[in-house]
Structure 1
């Protein structure tokens, strides 16, 4: 008897939902991407208890046709892909058609929507993949999703959820990244009844950075804009002095999608090499626009990684964009020296004499120092040196003259003896010679042999 069983629809949907819906942040990410694809200009996200018990995503996009509502919750149902060739140039954030089917299979979901070409909206409720109600409703143009009790029918998955604070932080991270990738959309984020984020949606990236990361981070950035062939890079990078001890503040977006790419990360750090300390990393918010046919976004379940046909052009574009921006906006102070100094001589000429300006250093140009130098003692030559020249004798003049005459005669006699006799190294004394280090090397060697 065979042991292979065909799973029923409900079990298969629960298994498939586990690949798409891992936590509340996964649900928020899928719903926000649908709102962006619908052309929304204002998106509101609200969660309670980290999103485990309540999540709401409302937008003012085009809305869903009433005839398409039930079809939208079927697996592999999407409005973004029709033909096989469409997979080669995906321009939307969503394309697989699995999000709504996976979300409704593990939660209690309520949908309120109205298409811009319809007069009456629709309210649709579905719990655990089973339809509960389908009625008309009065509502503005757009779509609102309300999700309650995530994983209520899969207790084993619910046990693996983290604390409410951790799950709420994960949702906040998703909203922050999405707000940075689409500054033209106004985001409002409400967490446990308190508004924690609001962007203006004015299309200015710096404004979104200011709202998400704060004033101090925004003031420490320099703009980046560069294009090489069909690849364009624009955004902001941190100044070299504002580097951080980790890479948490490196944000890369490819065609409006937040991704983790080692290619762009390596290019940024290579461009900053020599400008930041070892162990420090730059921060950035960079948007990379590449032709859709050059990348493949269908390589990761969460669509957070992409694959390039050729990574080299992307690396070169990011590298030159950062390097040129650093050179253009380098605010570090340069040391400026006077014209007639050694430092300019080093800078302007390869030939440098470190003793050339020594007289300028030791000789003072003031009048007081010049007069003082004239009064300073100028020593005589070594042969004429007499240690008793400046001695004052307190005695009678006759006695002083006799002593000085005797000293001079003794010195003259000592000098004649030095000239006529050969110096013996053994009997040499420093006091007996005006050149105590002028020693005959041959005699010194012979004496060392005797010893």
Structure 2
């Protein structure tokens, strides 16, 4: 057994704290926030591998403090063991700066308000090179170059510059969302990517980071009881995504990742979400520091609560309550319909076309229509709860999920067109402006050619806005504000090979284009849908795997009514 050298021990510690460039950004911005800054500017180059510069107008550091800041376990935020259980700052271990300094070339310039001049400290690979007096504004600027230059084994595991930049954007966005009173700016390759002026309200920042359509749809609910305060901003289930990357959770303004909390949020949405779908939610939890342990993991993104069961139930009820109220929080927006009522659905093209002009009643025997389905004759009886088509066949009562059925029909039609000659395209008479988030715009620029192949013509309109000029004719009337964002999300973290990407994107398009639950259908529309379904290769499941039909046999019905034993 040997005692490790200081250099090796420091690099091991750095490996726990600094995983990638986004870790550096998180630690440095945390320090700026703790320093009381109300303006923080971040600049990156080469995905953060070449340069990360974080500047703030906080309280700054004196020459002596500057020298202490690069020593391990030197901090101004705690003094005793008891302080570990009453942490109110984001940082507290005194490990960030020495860890970063040990795996990079770092320069820190800082000045306190009462000082005539500031000081610049230079350190490379953990070794102090120089400290000198310099002119500087009040605050601190930390410049990190050549991250992991002296740890090639760690450097080779980093992703490409664009991927690392995307990680930084995500980390930066999560930090900025919790401190709307601070002016945040992020530059990438000398281009201003995110500009977030300070504000008394969170909503403008939500619109920039989540997209305007999502922010306009979010509902707000608060909870205050027994020393626990929570505020949730929850987007309706219509804005759900295929990934959980838009679930933002903060505990005492610290962004955390907690499976228990995520599970509580998902349970709060309950059956509003389809299987495999995740909501867009921002949850702020405020509690006494003594009730939560943040000293669990070096990255400080995991926490433990003294009463996790109580917290779980409170979050679940809070989310459920918010979605039950369905009231917009965005200025100037209209009031949502109450739960149970459905907004007017988008028009859906049918073959043959026979739209209902008014809700219809469905008699049990008259006006029934015979259609061949699954090699059997069925009778269309009517529609249940504007969601299910009721039919009878020789086996009993067959219930058809109208959305799942139409989704399967659209999916196979779209796939067939793509394989044959490409989708039929409809140019929009008036191009549609759609506002995206910064990361969504970058993904579109990187992988947008897949959408072009599907007949979706999108062009840059400045900032984070784009113009939608053409769409597949089969989906002309879909909600493209939401659909385009969902498609971009699929491109961002979807399959790698082109064929799988196309299939994934078409699945999403079919889902958005299909008739929704809550849409009143005429007998002719139901008949046409079932006839089209019957001609498909796989009429039993939607593209997501959900069943399209369920049958209650005559025998089961007779047992329900005690006609048989």
Common fold: TM-score over 0.5: yes
Runs (5+) with no aligned partner, structure 2: 328-335, 343-363, 365-565
Q: Whole-Å Cα distance in 1 between the matches of residues 232 and 197 of structure 2? A: 18
Map Cα deviations across residues 221-269 of structure 1 (whole Å, 9 max, x no partner): 1112121221111131001322223322111111001111222222222
Q: Whole-Å Cα distance in 2 between the matches of residues 189 and 214 of structure 1? A: 17
Question: What secondary structure does 1:151 align onto?
Answer: coil
1:56 aligns with 2:59: no
Q: Whole-Å Cα distance in 1 between the matches of residues 262 and 22 of structure 2? A: 24
Corresponding residue for 2:67? Answer: 70
1:10 aligns with 2:7: yes
1:253 aligns with 2:250: yes
Q: Whole-Å Cα distance in 1 between the matches of residues 243 and 223 of structure 2? A: 26
Corresponding residue for 1:279? Answer: 276
Corresponding residue for 1:435? Answer: none
Decide which structure has greater strand share: 2
Cα offset, 1:328, TM superposition: 2.1
Corresponding residue for 1:160? Answer: 157
Q: Whole-Å Cα distance in 2 between the matches of residues 284 and 225 of structure 1? A: 14
Cα offset, 1:146, TM superposition: 0.6
Q: Whole-Å Cα distance in 1 between the matches of residues 205 and 232 of structure 2? A: 11
1:208 aligns with 2:196: no
Map Cα deviations across residues 174-213 of structure 1 (whole Å, 9 max, x no partner): 1011011211111100011111101111132112111212
Q: Please, what TM-score do these two structures have when normalized by structure 2?
A: 0.57
User: Is the CA contact 1:44–1:189 (under 8 Å) kept in the aligned structure 2?
Assistant: yes
Q: Whole-Å Cα distance in 2 between the matches of residues 56 and 263 of structure 1? A: 35
User: Is the CA contact 1:89–1:293 (under 8 Å) kept in the aligned structure 2?
Assistant: yes
Question: What secondary structure does 2:30 align onto?
Answer: helix
User: Is the CA contact 1:267–1:315 (under 8 Å) kept in the aligned structure 2?
Assistant: yes
Counting only pairs closer than 5 Å after superposition, residues 156-195 of structure 1 correspond to structure 2 as 156-195=153-192
Question: What secondary structure does 2:270 align onto?
Answer: coil
Equivalent in 14, 17, 21 of residue 24 of structure 1: 21
Corresponding residue for 1:136? Answer: 133
Runs (5+) with no aligned partner, structure 1: 337-353, 355-451
Q: Whole-Å Cα distance in 1 between the matches of residues 221 and 341 of structure 2? A: 27
What count of residue pairs does the alignment treat as equivalent?
335
Counting only pairs closer than 5 Å after superposition, residues 370-409 of structure 1 correspond to structure 2 as none
Equivalent in 72, 77, 80 of residue 77 of structure 2: 80
Q: Whole-Å Cα distance in 1 between the matches of residues 190 and 87 of structure 2? A: 37
Map Cα deviations across residues 388-407 of structure 1 (whole Å, 9 max, x no partner): xxxxxxxxxxxxxxxxxxxx
Equivalent in 290, 295, 311 of residue 293 of structure 1: 290
Equivalent in 189, 192, 196 of residue 193 of structure 2: 196
Corresponding residue for 2:40? Answer: 43
Q: Whole-Å Cα distance in 1 between the matches of residues 99 and 274 of structure 2? A: 46
Q: Whole-Å Cα distance in 2 between the matches of residues 320 and 278 of structure 1? A: 20
Corresponding residue for 2:553? Answer: none
Cα offset, 1:323, TM superposition: 2.3
User: Is the CA contact 1:231–1:317 (under 8 Å) kept in the aligned structure 2?
Assistant: no
1:103 aligns with 2:92: no
Map Cα deviations across residues 125-167 of structure 1 (whole Å, 9 max, x no partner): 1111122211111111100001111111222222222111111
Q: Classify 1:11/1:247 alpha carbon distance in 2 versus 1 (closer, same or farther; 3 Å).
A: closer
Q: Classify 1:8/1:267 alpha carbon distance in 2 versus 1 (closer, same or farther; 3 Å).
A: closer
User: Is the CA contact 1:228–1:317 (under 8 Å) kept in the aligned structure 2?
Assistant: no
Question: What secondary structure does 1:312 align onto?
Answer: helix
Cα offset, 1:6, TM superposition: 2.4
Equivalent in 320, 323, 342 of residue 320 of structure 2: 323
Q: Whole-Å Cα distance in 1 between the matches of residues 156 and 237 of structure 2? A: 44
User: Is the CA contact 1:189–1:198 (under 8 Å) kept in the aligned structure 2?
Assistant: yes
Q: Classify 1:223/1:18 alpha carbon distance in 2 versus 1 (closer, same or farther; 3 Å).
A: same
Q: Please, what TM-score do these two structures have when normalized by structure 1?
A: 0.71
Corresponding residue for 2:425? Answer: none
Cα offset, 1:317, TM superposition: 2.1
Q: Whole-Å Cα distance in 1 between the matches of residues 237 and 19 of structure 2? A: 38
- Bigger radius of gyration, 1 or 2? 1
Q: Classify 1:106/1:280 alpha carbon distance in 2 versus 1 (closer, same or farther; 3 Å).
A: closer
Cα offset, 1:335, TM superposition: 6.8
Cα offset, 1:169, TM superposition: 1.1
Question: What secondary structure does 2:271 align onto?
Answer: coil
Cα offset, 1:220, TM superposition: 1.8
Q: Classify 1:240/1:161 alpha carbon distance in 2 versus 1 (closer, same or farther; 3 Å).
A: closer
Question: What secondary structure does 2:61 align onto?
Answer: coil
1:218 aligns with 2:212: no
Q: Whole-Å Cα distance in 1 between the matches of residues 242 and 125 of structure 2? A: 45
1:264 aligns with 2:261: yes
